[in-house]
Every structure is written in C-alpha cells, then in structure tokens.
A and B are shown apart, each in its own frame.
Chain A
Amino acid sequence: QKEVEQNSGPLSVPEGAIASLNCTYSDRGSQSFFWYRQYSGKSPELIMFIYSNGDKEDGRFTAQLNKASQYVSLLIRDSQPSDSATYLCAVNGGGGSNYKLTFGKGTLLTVNP
C-alpha cells in the first residue's frame, strides 16, 4: 500500500514568517512530487513540483526533496494571510503507473495577520 503522510496540523504562523510543510512517502520508486494548495470549498491548485533531489524555488515557495530519506517539504517565505489553505502533498506511482498520484490528507495552514 503506497502511502503519503502529512502532519494534519493545523499549522499556525504569523504573517511574514516562514511556514514549513512536510511530507513523507513509502514508495521508493516514486519519481515526481507535487504540492497542491486547496482553499476551503475549492479544488486543489498545483503550486510546485520537483523531480530531483535538492531545492527548487519559485517566488516565495521552495520545494525540497530528499529521496534517500523519502521526504519532501514545502517552505513558504514571507507568509501572507492569503496563504491560509490546506496543502496537499502528492507523489507519483513510479514504474508503469507514473501517471497515478497518491495524495496525503493535507496540512491546514493558518497565517495570522
């Protein structure tokens, strides 16, 4: 059973701080890793993806991947109240099912003004 684990939170940070969201996965064959943001009552929106070990930066967002530790994280710098949402980690299946994503339950982030 392929699993993706996230701390459900809620994670609460003050405005302007760095929010750190973490995710672990069980399938060592996974090759692609995704972060989605989901506002309450809305559908998931892709914000970052990463394929290689290390860091990938996009604006205020940085995704970090460590395949040896089966760990992926998302850092949000200068957090804004508009970043308050549930963040979903998703991992592809690897091998012949690499089109298939397994999602974690999500971490609820609250950014306090």
Chain B
Amino acid sequence: ETGVTQTPRHLVMGMTNKKSLKCEQHLGHNAMYWYKQSAKKPLELMFVYSLEERVENNSVPSRFSPECPNSSHLFLHLHTLQPEDSALYLCASSQVRTGIYEQYFGPGTRLTVT
C-alpha cells in the first residue's frame, strides 16, 4: 500500500446506526486530518491530529468522534447522523515539523445517510 488509504470507499447508513471510517497513511507523516466535502461548498476541515494529539476541532457536532491511536492511523466514529451529513469524507496527512506542509489526500469515503 502506498500513500493514504481509506476504508470503506462507500457507506450507506441509517440515522440510528454506528459506523467508523478508517484512514491509514504510509508516508511517514506526523499529522492527519479529516475533511468534509459537500456539493458546492469548499472543503471543511473537521479535525487535525499532530503527533497523535488533537490540535483542531472546528465546532464539529458530537455525533462525529475522531480517534488517532498512532501517527499512521486515524478513525472517524459516526453515530446518530443526520441526512445533511451525507458527503465525501476525506482523510489527509502531512509532515508539520520540517516546514513541508503539503497535504496528501486519501481517496475518500462517500457517505450517504438515509
């Protein structure tokens, strides 16, 4: 595996379900990000983990819960979602200590909430 991987690629869930999105980066980076991309809107940063510590939480509803067990893995736990949460969820990683801040994205999880 190379780059940033995400599973599942597609997810359909009901409003009462609990599911988790998984992200893994194989780039040796030390920061990971969750973004939400909805139609006609710019990418919205949800969470940032740097050195496994959450450093950013952009007023995201508590029905989204991130987890970063180590610098290579990132999860987004989902529960009691709303239809408006249907979107493309993107994971990204970067190296923040060396002055290189480019972010590399995974393929995304297309989430549909019914």
Name A's B-contacting residues (CB within 8 A). 4, 32, 34, 36, 42-46, 49, 88, 90, 92, 97-106
Name B's A-contacting residues (CB within 8 A). 31, 40-43, 45, 48, 50, 55-56, 88, 90, 94, 96, 101-108
How many A-B residue pairs lie within 8 Å, measured between CB atoms? 49
What residues of B have a CB within 8 angstroms of the CB of A88 in the complex?
Answer: 42-43
Given the contacts A43-B108, A44-B90, A99 and B42 also touching, CB distance less than 8 Å? no
Q: Name the distance in Å between B8's Cβ and chain A's nearest Cβ.
A: 14
Task: Tell me if B56 and A46 are in contact (CB < 8 A).
Answer: no
Q: Name the distance in Å between A50's Cβ and chain B's nearest Cβ.
A: 11
Q: Name the distance in Å between B18's Cβ and chain A's nearest Cβ.
A: 25
Distance, CA A42 to CA B109, complexed state (A):
10
Task: Tell me if B104 and A99 are in contact (CB < 8 A).
Answer: no
